[in-house]
Chains A and B, each alone.
Chain A
Amino acid sequence: MTEQQVSKRGLVVKGLRKTYKGGVSALNGVNLEVTPGLYGLLGPNGAGKSTLMRTLASLQQPDSGSITLDGIDALADPDSLRFKLGYLPQQIGAYPNVSGRDLLERFAWLKGRTDKKVRKQEVEYLLERVNLERDAHRAVATYSGGMLRRFGIAVALIGEPRLLIVDEPTAGLDPAERSRFHRILADIGSDAVVLLSTHIVEDIENLCTRLSIMAKGRIVAAGTPDSLKASLKGLIWEKEISREQAVPDDALHATATPYGTRVVMAGEALAGYSERTVRLEDVYYHALRNAQVEEV
């Protein structure tokens, strides 16, 4: 897809910068081109993911740069962006004394769905879509974590957004809820731009067609999972060592196993190490190493 096509149908972020009071540079020239589909955003804590998400969601103003969605300048005309935006925040609290249906309807009229009949129909549609129709009469405060997430996605989907920003959506969910949530996201990603920010590499690996890895406020790697993994083919090695043995200083990352520690190294072939099938996790750590960010 050409840049011109992306700019007309998709999200384009150019040179986005944001420095907080105190000199912390959260975004340091972020560039992104995102077409419809699920797009992953990986990065360690402090990489600038949340700042980027909030900036894209019009919750923060960048110091410089540009954001366009389907050709609309989102910074100059944030209200137009908001019509096309769905946002699922990281935390969703227990809103007291209001049923899921009522609260969803409220967000529908706040989003501009002012025709009562259409609004009510959409609310029922979204409740069905996130499988909450049987619990819609219950107070949101009584929802479980998974139900709250599904409720959140229903809110985010009001008005069929073109851009859905999802921040750490599966944190704290049990496997069944997580799986259910993934299916919903995948469904949405068939038409809209879904920007998925998470720590969980596996989620991105399973869901996203493209991704970016952020570190120190900038994109340090981007592409499809396969292309990123292919770029490291033959360069990733692994070995399981006992707990008593020290993890080498230059290890890419290390994970605990039942009998010891699996050490993953990057580079040329190493004695005692076997070649490892590259995983997105390895790409992530490799990108961080290249960006000189420690996260072992």
Chain B
Amino acid sequence: MGHSRTSFFFQEAANEAKLGLKSLITPIVFFGLTAYMLIFLLNADYMRSMGAVDIYRNSPHVIYLMVSGQSLWLFFAWAWIFAQIVVRDRSAELHEVVLASPISLRLLLAARFSGALVVAVILGSSICVGLLMAPILVTFGALPPDAVGPVPWAAAAASLLVFTIPSAFATGVLFLAGASLTRSNTGAFATAAILSLIWMIGLVVLHEGGVSPMLASIIDPSAYVEAERQALIWTPAEKKVAMIGLTDMLLINRGLWLSVGVIVGGILLVRLRREHLAMERAPRAQARKGASVSKYLAAPAGLIVNPNWWRTLVVECTWHLKISLQSFGLRLALLLLTAIGVAAAWVNSIGHIDGPLVPTPQALIYFMVGFFFVFIVFVVVGFVGALMRRDDCDGFIEWLDTSPVPLGTRLFARFIAALGLTALLCLVPAVASVLMTAIAAPHALDIIYPFAYVLLTVFPALAELCAIAVLAHAIFQRAGTAYVVSILAAFIAIVNHEVELVQYTPAAIGTPIHAYPSELAGWSPWIAMIVALASLKLSLAFLLFSGSWLAWRRGTALTLRDRINEAKRRVVGTAGMAATAALSLVFVCIAVLNTRFVNEGGYASSMDALAHDGNWEKKWWKQASPYSISGGEVLIRLNPANGTGDVNWRLEGVRAQRLHGTLPHGVELVGATRKGMSLDFAVDSEHFVVEAGCLVNCELTLELNIGAQGWQTEAAPWLDTASVWLRAHDVLPVLGHDPQRLVRSIGDRPLLGLPTQLPAIPQAAALASLEGVAPMGDWTWSVAIDSGSGEYQVFDKGDIEGVLAFASIWQRDGSSTHQQSGVEFLVGDARQPLVDGFAQELVSLQQCVESELGGTSPINTVVQAPRKSGEIALYNGVLWAPEDIAWQSDGTGRGAWQRQYNLAAALARDAIGRRGELRDEAGARWFIEGVAGWTALRCVEIQSGFDAAIAVRKRASEQLAEEFATTDKPITKAMDGDISWLGLYAALSLDSWGASEYRTPSSMMTVFEGIDSGDLLSRLSKTVGNDSLELLIGAPRSSDVAIKNNDTGVEVSVLSWVWKEGGWQAQPALQRLLLRGSDMHMQEYMPQSLAQRGVELDGSYLFYAGIGYERSIDDNRFQNKCADTKENSKCGSVSITRNANDQFSKQ
């Protein structure tokens, strides 16, 4: 008997696996994902954005992220596979036969589950297979040989063991339980939806919102959050070889879900009865007789003549929507999603890492869309599928197909209903956003904005996915296959959305339109782009619908040939006309978008942009020549209605044989004169040179035309019909050579025909000003607007003694400003309650910066600048404070400290810039960013206390870890660092160095003394010392000090690294440690002096006293143990147990 039971188990398991593998769904999923992975590997832009500049495309970290991340989509495929254990028999109406047989139900379920698990794991291995096949891409010449590394067998095996198999087992049990309860796929798919929801809450709310990354890592059913948490801080060198770490959180996560699987599985096996599986749905109780009453009298209607199919279209569409809305599942989904949305918005607003945030509609809706998108995509695909399959019921398809209603009418009605359903689902984020704002910030309530935003930017993307789902159901007769194909498409869209795989916006199918209307600028700068992109997406959706029409099955027993022949017939009919019209619309939209994005907006793929810079370097770099200017006048005339303008820029006291400059995109140099005489000039790669011939002071005039009609998705337009948000660098070329355009990637340089080594940086006098478009001088500027009559009226002007940098704001409907603390605030209604606190903070920070650096500029105006309009900056008395940086905090907590840091850094940057001329020479960016950040850290500490400054340092450390891991430019020296990490790194390392050396930011101002005595680096060397400077501006350094209390005392471990060859390399750590605390004005050194001095340790932090930044600040704090136990002797027995590290894995 035992043998027969074992034999049965294996036979049944094998049979289940065989049936699963024979299903059409399995190969579609497997090969679809494998192929997708290969396409993914081919995309250089994406690999760059993943930080894969110096690493292989099939590196282990890609495997971990992809294998764990794909679970989100696999949940739905797995749901189907595990549901078949109970559903397959019912579909074939064999369930009674099977259940009546003398087989143990537990054995049957266990055997089938094992078989299904095999299929699930095979599907889950598809990503691994794709990555393991990466060398094939090299064989076919699709990838260069050095892009692909050795086959990462160990990582693939680890991924399967850590992610795929446990996830498949645990979720498989849940899917089986769901299917068993409902005796259908519904329960399994509902379970998959719930798991997706948990995943979404973990990733978006808890992890990305910084509310509780630990909890996110634990509850995520896919373990993706933990994989991402680990991978995000791996350096490129680590990414090549890293094994996923079995951290506490990962072990808890896997253990938790495996336990859930085991417990639910146990309950299922014990409690599930044959009766339940055999049961038919009980008929509903009949309503009482006579309940069916119609107000219409019965009457024969005769033959049907001249039907109005438009009416049919309307009633059929309405009917489908009505039936969908009657669905309990949909109502429940809408209600739950809205409730979850409000809760998530609340948690995100209050618990956000940069919060608490003001839940304004503009701020909230971006979060809500990001939060909901993944889930709504699957819900849309599911409900649209249900709508398309509604008539899949014996006899009804035949009735529909024998009805005289034109097929197009029938399908279009259904398509419109599907779109209506999609629109309804995409309104959920808007509803949740409105509710949250009404609850938490009623003064900022704007009902229209969130609804308009989702309908204009999210709905068109979902409409594309909806149309893909419709097409899948049109092509595939089997519902399961159609669902799988449409969910696969949804998954690909989600990946594109999450990782921005497709960078050219018009090509990002199924991805919401990126647009950032802000409170003051409103929709006007974005609306044309949104409409054009939405038109493309809707046209594409219509094209896909036309394809569905061509492919739709009408009739029975159709062969492929029948369907092809029918499609051919339809091509020459209305369906073909609809497809042609849609295709034409798509082409028109593509042409318009291409013009606006590429020709006028300057879009280039990262490879094209790199090639562009390579050409620039080859042509222009060696021609750099010194120039000087004493000042001049800028006359700007703008025509907002046309998006055009011109500039007359008079330069005085020019000394330059040739004057070089870099034109901003959309600005064209049309003339250059010297005392009225035309000068020769050349323009190439957005760089110009004017043959100035000014050996002594002379006066030049540059004539520039502005064309600002181009579109960009990630930068706010500065000029539109309703407003102007102008900064000098938007309309004026930056004079001098710009070293930031040099191609710094050693790997890319030979490919572009450039020498491997970076060229020498010319003397500072040839370079661009660091903070302005032109060096220090006496400047005047004015901006005039064409009011529509052809006459220009000056609306803003100013004088500058310093670098040429200014900002000017014009609003067609007038600007509503008000005074606070002597400063004019141009802010929206939603921010009015914050103005008072903002103004007070500004005054305090100004005083702080003044005391730290001396000489700050007055602030006349504070502007709530549009979202995505850069960083906070002070331009000639105008504080440019972008809405998404300066106005999202409610003025309390960590968000307020972060804002203080950003504001103080901006003020400090301006103060430094006023102290003397800074060109973009070696070390200049490091200097200004570092000193400004250092000053800002001190100001946060002065203003909000030690803990606030620690919180800012901690946040900066976390951001740096991510930036080092994901930067798309190679990391060599700090002074050549990319701006994405340079500022924070320089600030933290200077802060640490300054504390160790008893230095303050003001001491750095000596670099401006004797400014003509040498280059910046030599002056910096005099200021900070040769050795320190070498370390400060050299390769990035980091440390990790960890304090652990144990029975014998306090154990301190110290680790130190330097960045080398693409990663952190361990180096011997110094013995010196730095003690910092709230009541400490001096620093102490460990361990020698600590005990003797009797310093109160509780709440103090230990830092590494070398140069670099602390990677993990949480464990640097002395705990409360001494205060509680009065064991001061123990506190005094601080010992350093490890002072050097051998390898990074020890961290």
A126-134, A198-206, A209-217: which lies at the interface = A126-134
- Is residue A31 contacting chain B, with contact meaning CB distance below 8 A? no
Report the separation of the CA atoms of residues A97 and B395 in the bound assembly, to the nearest whole angstrom. Answer: 16
**A101–B300 touching, CB < 8 Å:** no
Q: In the complex, are the beta carbons of A124 and B300 less than 8 A apart? A: no
Q: A91-B394, A120-B294, A155-B399 are in contact. Are A97 and B326 (CB under 8 A)?
A: yes
Partner of A59, one of B284, B312, B315, B402: B402
Interface check A273, CB cutoff 8 A: no
- Nearest-neighbour CB distance to chain A for B327, whole angstroms, equals 7
21 contacts between A and B (CB under 8 A): A21-B559, A54-B557, A80-B404, A87-B399, A89-B398, A90-B395, A96-B393, A106-B319, A107-B403, A109-B405, A112-B304, A112-B405, A121-B299, A121-B301, A122-B299, A122-B301, A125-B299, A133-B292, A134-B292, A139-B284, A159-B301
In the complex where A112-B404, A127-B298, A159-B303 touch, is A107 in contact with B327 (Cβ < 8 A)? no
Q: B562 on the interface (CB 8 Å rule)?
A: yes
B22 in contact (CB, < 8 A): no
Contact between chains at B287 and A137 (CB < 8 Å): yes
CB distance from A180 to the nearest CB of B (A): 18
Q: Mark A54-80, 1 if CB is under 8 A from B, else 0.
A: 100111110000000000000000011
Tell me, in angstroms, the Cα distance from A173 to B561 when the chains sit together. 38
CA–CA, A106 and B287, complex, Å: 22
Q: Is B4 an interface residue (CB 8 A)?
A: no
Residues of A within 8 A of B556 (CB): 54, 59-60
| Chain B residue at smallest Cβ distance from A84 | B303
B window 390-426: CB within 8 A of A: 391, 393-396, 398-406, 410
Q: A-facing mask of B269-308, CB < 8 A → 1, else 0?
A: 0000000000000011011011110101111111110011
Interface 1/0s, chain A 132-146, versus B by CB < 8 A? Answer: 011111110010000
Contacts of B316 in A (CB 8 A): 106, 109-110
Which bracket fits the contact residues of A? Answer: 35 or more
CB distance from A132 to the nearest CB of B (A): 9
Q: Residues 149-165 of chain A: 1 if any B CB is under 8 Å from the residue's CB, otherwise 0?
A: 00010010001100000
The reply to whether the CB of A182 lies closer than 8 angstroms to some CB of chain B is no
Max chain A CB contacts within 10 Å: which of B307, B308, B391, B402?
A: B402
Tell me if B292 and A160 are in contact (CB < 8 A). Answer: no
Contact across chains for A82 and B402 when beta carbons are under 8 A apart: yes
Does A160 contact B398, Cβ atoms closer than 8 Å? no
Does B309 reach chain A (CB closer than 8 Å)? yes
Quick check: B304 and A83 within 8 Å, CB to CB? yes
Shortest Cβ distance from residue B1100 to the other chain A in the assembled complex, whole angstroms:
67
B312 contacts A95, C-beta separation under 8 Å: no
Please measure, in the bound complex, the distance between the C-alpha atom of A242 and the C-alpha atom of B159, giving whole angstroms.
Answer: 74
Closest 8 CB pairs of A and B: A112-B307, A93-B394, A122-B301, A124-B298, A82-B404, A93-B393, A91-B394, A137-B292
Contacts of A138 in B (CB 8 A): 286-287, 292
Report the minimum CB–CB distance from A173 to chain B (whole Å): 15
Q: Indicate whether A239 reaches chain B with its CB closer than 8 angstroms.
A: no
- Nearest CB in chain A: distance from B322 CB, A: 9
Contact A61 B300 (CB under 8 A): no
B696 at the interface (CB under 8 A from A): no
A121 to B296, CA, bound (A): 6
In the complex, residue of chain A having the shortest beta-carbon distance to the beta carbon of B295: A120
> For the complex, is A113 an interface residue (Cβ under 8 Å from B)?
yes
State A119–B290 Cα separation when bound (angstroms): 22
Kindly report which residue of chain A lies nearest to residue B320, judged by CB atoms. Answer: A106
Q: Is the CB of A120 within 8 A of B296?
A: yes
Residue contact B300 to A160, C-beta cutoff 8 Å: yes
Partner of B298, one of A95, A114, A125, A139: A125
Closest B-chain residue to A136, C-beta based? B292
CA A160 – CA B326 in complex, angstroms?
A: 32
B327 A159 Cβ-Cβ under 8 A = no
| Pairwise interchain contact A114-B311, C-beta atoms closer than 8 A | yes
Q: Which of B287, B292, B395 contacts A101 (CB 8 A)?
A: B292
B747 at the interface (CB under 8 A from A): no
| Residues of chain B with a CB closer than 8 A to A21's CB | 559, 561
Bound-complex Cα distance A113 to B315 (A)? 11
Out of A80, A109, A134, name the residue touching B290 (CB < 8 Å).
A134
A92 & B319 in contact (Cβ 8 Å cutoff): no
Query: Is B677's CB within 8 Å of the partner chain A?
Result: no
Residues of A within 8 A of B319 (CB): 102, 106
Does B1025 make an interface contact (CB < 8 A)? no
A184 within 8 A of B: no
CA distance A66 to B366 in the complex (A): 62
Q: Which one, B294, B301, B399, B404, contacts A79 given CB within 8 A?
A: B404
B554 to chain A: closest residue by CB: A59
| A111 / chain B contacts, CB cutoff of 8 Å | 304, 307, 403-405
Decide yes or no whether B555 CB sits under 8 A from chain A.
yes
Q: How many residues of B contact A (CB 8 A)?
A: 50
Is B92 an interface residue when CB atoms closer than 8 A count as contact?
A: no
Q: Does B100 contact A (CB under 8 A)?
A: no
In the assembled complex, the Cα of A27 lies from the Cα of B399 at a distance in Å of 23
Instruction: Give every chain A residue within 8 A of B406 (Cβ-Cβ).
Output: 79
Name B299's closest neighbour in chain A (CB-CB): A121
Q: Are B311 and A85 in contact (CB under 8 A)?
A: no
Q: Closest CB of chain B to A79's CB: distance in Å?
A: 5
Tell me if B323 is interfacial: C-beta within 8 Å of chain A.
yes
What distance in Å separates the Cβ of B91 from its nearest Cβ neighbour in chain A? 13
**B177–chain A nearest beta-carbon distance, Å:** 23
A259 within 8 A of B: no
On chain A, the residues within 8 Å of B307 by CB distance are 111-114
Interface residue A1 (Cβ < 8 Å from any Cβ of B):
no
Q: How far is the CA of A138 from the CA of B287 in the complex (A)?
A: 7
Does the CB pair B555–A160 fall under 8 Å? Answer: no
With contacts A82-B402, A93-B395, A101-B292 taken as known, whether A20 is within 8 angstroms of B312 at the C-beta atoms is no
Interface code B586-602, partner A: CB below 8 Å = 1, 0 otherwise? 00000000000000000
Q: Tell me the complex Cα distance, A128–B297, Å.
A: 11
Minimum Cβ distance to chain B for residue A236 (Å): 38
**Chain B minimum-CB-distance residue to A85:** B402
* A176, CB-defined interface residue at 8 Å: no
In the bound complex, CA of A107 to CA of B398 (Å): 12
- Complex alpha-carbon distance, A79 and B573, angstroms: 14
Known: A87-B399, A152-B395. A109 touches B315 (CB 8 A): yes
Inter-chain CA distance A124–B292, complex, in Å, is 11
A98 interfacial by beta-carbon distance below 8 Å? yes
- Contact of A58 with B327 in the complex, beta carbons under 8 Å: no
Are A128 and B315 touching (Cβ within 8 A)? no
- Which residues of A4-38 have CB atoms within 8 Å of chain B's CB atoms? 20-21
Q: Known pairs A120-B296, A123-B294, A124-B296. 15 more at Cβ < 8 A?
A: A58-B555, A59-B402, A87-B398, A87-B399, A87-B402, A120-B294, A121-B299, A123-B296, A124-B297, A125-B301, A134-B289, A137-B291, A138-B286, A152-B395, A159-B301
- Given contacts A122-B301, A124-B296, whether A110 and B405 have CB atoms under 8 Å apart is yes
Please, how many angstroms separate the alpha-carbon atoms of A98 and B320 in the complex? 11
**With known contacts A79-B404, A112-B405, A138-B287, A125–B300 Cβ distance under 8 A:** yes
Question: Do the beta carbons of A89 and B395 come within 8 Å of each other?
Answer: yes
Q: Is A94 an interface residue (CB 8 A)?
A: yes
Residues of B within 8 A of A61 (CB): 555, 562
A59→B553 CA distance, assembly (Å): 10
* Known A58-B555, A97-B323, A160-B303: A110·B403 in contact at CB below 8 Å: yes
Q: Is the CB of B292 within 8 A of A59?
A: no
Residues of chain B with a CB closer than 8 A to A139's CB: 284
- Which residues of the other chain, A, contact B302 by a CB distance below 8 angstroms? 160
Give bound CA distance, A120 to B556, whole Å.
31
Min Cβ gap A78→B in Å is 9
**Once the chains are docked, how many angstroms separate the CA of A110 from the CA of B408?**
12
In the bound complex, how far is the Cα of B562 from the Cα of A61, in angstroms? 9
Interface centre among A109, A125, A139, A142 (most CB of B within 10 A): A109
Residues of B near A124 (CB, < 8 A) are 294, 296-299
A118 within 8 A of B: yes
Judging by beta carbons under 8 Å apart, are A59 and B562 in contact? no
Identify the closest chain A residue to B289 (Cβ): A134
